[in-house]
Amino acid sequence: MKRLLPILIVFMLLLPWIGSAGAGNPFTSKPGARLVAPEPPIQSPFVLKIVVWQHRLQQTLSDLIRDFKNDERFGPLIVLMGLAFAYGAIHAAGPGHGKVVAMSYVLSHRPSMPGGVAFALCIAMIHGVSGIVGVIGLRYVIQRSVSQTLASVTEITQMVSFGLIAILGLGILVKHAAALFFRKNSPPEKKPEVIAGKNVWPWAIAVGVVPCPAVVMVMLFCMSMDGLLIGLLLALCIALGMGATISLVVTTAILGKTGALRAVSGKRFERVEAAVGMLSGAAVAVFGVLFCIPAIHRVFY
Amino acid sequence: MPLLSKVDAHPHVFIVQRLNLVFDEKGLAGIKVRWKMDDMFASMIAEDHDRNRNGTLEPDEVQSVKENAFIFIKEFNFFTFIKIGSRPFQVKFIRDFNATLKNGRLVYEFFIPCHVSAGDAYKKVSVSTYDPSYYTAIFFAKHNPVSLTTADAFELKTAIREDPDTKIYFDMIHPWTLFMEFRKKA
Tell me what percent of chain B is helix, strand and coil, each rounded to the nearest 5: 20, 45, 35
Residue of chain B whose alpha carbon sits nearest to that of A144: B48
Instruction: Give the pLDDT score at A31.
Output: 55
Whether residue B1 is predicted with pLDDT greater than 50 in this model: the reply is no
Instruction: Determine the distance in angstroms separating the CA of B91 from the nearest CA of chain A, rounded to an integer.
Output: 16
Using an 8 Å Cβ cutoff, are A211 and A131 in contact? yes
Distance CA B72, CA B19 (A): 21
Tell me whether residues B40 and A218 touch, CB distance under 8 A: yes
- Distance between CA A218 and CA A125 in Å, rounded? 15
- Average pLDDT, whole number, for chain A? 75
| Residue B92 to chain A, least CA–CA distance (Å) | 14
State residue A22's pLDDT score: 37
B143-161: pLDDT as tens digits: 889 999 988 889 999 888 8
Distance from CA of B17 to the nearest CA of A (A): 14
Residue A191 has a pLDDT of 55
Whether residue B28 is predicted with pLDDT greater than 50 in this model: the reply is yes
> In this predicted structure, what is the pLDDT of residue A38?
35
Cβ-defined contact of B5 to A17 (cutoff 8 Å): yes
HSE (side-chain half, CA atoms, 13 Å) at A93: 20
Residue A26: which of B4, B38, B76 has the nearest Cβ? Answer: B76
pLDDT of residue B62: 96
- CB of B97 within 8 Å of a chain A CB? The answer is no
Distance, in Å, from the CA atom of B112 to the CA atom of A92, rounded to the nearest integer, reads: 35
The answer to whether B98 faces chain A, any CB pair under 8 Å, is no
How many other CB atoms are there within 10 angstroms of residue B32's CB atom? 18
Nearest-CA distance from B157 to chain A in Å?
Answer: 26
More confident residue, A161 or B1: A161
- Residue A24: the pLDDT is 62
At residue A6, does pLDDT exceed 70?
A: no
Residue A40 has pLDDT above 50, yes or no: no
Q: Do A252 and B4 touch (CB under 8 A)?
A: yes
CB of A119 closer than 8 Å to CB of A250 = yes
- State residue A45's pLDDT score: 59
Contact flag B172-A16 (C-beta cutoff 8 Å):
no
Residue A110 confidence (pLDDT): 75
- Give the nearest chain B residue to A149 (CA atoms): B48
DSSP states along chain A: -GGGHHHHHHHHHHGGGGGGGG---TTTSPTTSSPPP---S---THHHHHHHHHHHHHHHHHHHHHHHHHH--HHHHHHHHHHHHHHHHHHTTSS-TTHHHHHHHHHHS-B-HHHHHHHHHHHHHHHHHHHHHHHHIIIIII---HHHHHHHHHHHHHHHHHHHHHHHHHHHHHHHHHHHHTSPP-----PPBPP-HHHHHHHHHHHH-SPPHHHHHHHHHHHTTT-HHHHHHHHHHHHHHHHHHHHHHHHHHHHHHHHHHHTS-HHHHHHHHHHHHHHHHHHHHHHHHHHHHHHHHHHH-
Between A268-277, B12-21, B109-118, the lowest mean confidence (pLDDT) is in A268-277
pLDDT of B170 above 50 = yes
Interval B102-115 mean pLDDT: 94
Measured at the alpha carbon of residue A245, what is the angle toward residues A279 and A173, in degrees to the nearest 5? Answer: 15
pLDDT reported for residue A133: 87
A13, A37, A252 member nearest B169 (Cβ): A37
**Considering only residues 54 to 73 of chain B, which have any Cβ-Cβ distance to chain A shorter than 8 Å?**
68-70, 72-73
| Contact predicate A198/A205, CB 8 Å | no
Measured between alpha carbons, how far is A212 from A128 in angstroms, rounded to an integer?
6
Q: What is the pLDDT of residue B4?
A: 30
ipTM summary value = 0.76
Q: Are A119 and A195 in contact (CB under 8 A)?
A: yes
pLDDT of B183 higher than 70: yes
Q: How far is the C-alpha of A155 from the C-alpha of A18, rounded, in Å? A: 17
| Residue closest to B12 by CA, chosen among A97, A150, A55, A231 | A55
E-state strands within chain B: 13-23, 27-37, 80-84, 87-89, 95-102, 105-117, 123-129, 136-140, 146-149, 154-162, 176-184
Please give the pLDDT value at position A202: 81
CB B43 within 8 A of CB A221: yes
Residue among A35, A95, A223 whose CB faces B10 most closely? A95
* Distance of residue B181 Cα from the nearest chain A Cα, in angstroms: 27
Residue A27 and residue B73: Cβ atoms within 8 Å?
Answer: yes
pLDDT confidence bin for A94, thresholds 50/70/90:
low
Would you call A224 and B5 a contact, using CB atoms and an 8 Å cutoff? no
What pLDDT score does A119 carry? Answer: 85
A163-220 pLDDT, tens digit per residue, is 888 888 888 888 888 877 776 555 555 555 555 556 777 888 887 788 888 888 899 8
* Residues of chain B contacting A53 with CB distance shorter than 8 Å: 9
Q: Which of A98-107, B93-102, B158-167 has the lowest mean pLDDT?
A: A98-107
A15-29, A138-152, B117-131: least confident range = A15-29
Nearest-CA residue of chain A relative to B140?
A52
Minimum mean pLDDT range among A17-26, A273-282, B25-34:
A17-26
Note the pLDDT of residue B133.
77
CA gap A13, A7 in Å, rounded = 10
Q: Does pLDDT of A70 surpass 70?
A: yes
How far does Cα A224 stand from its chain's mean position?
28
pLDDT value of residue B20: 93
Amino acid at A227: G
User: Cα angle at B61 between B73 and A132, to 5 degrees?
Assistant: 70
Contact A221 B39 (CB under 8 A): yes
| Residue A280 DSSP class | H
Backbone angles phi, psi at B80, to 5 degrees: -120, 115
pLDDT digits 0-9 by tens, A115-155: 888 888 888 898 888 889 888 887 777 767 777 677 777 77
To the nearest whole Å, the CA of B151 is away from the closest chain A CA by 32
- What angle is formed at CA A88 by the lines to CA A126 and CA B36, rounded to 5 degrees? 120
What pLDDT is recorded for position A96? 62
Residues of B in contact with A36 (CB under 8 A): 132-133
Write the residue in B76, B133, B172 that is nearest to A42 by C-beta: B172
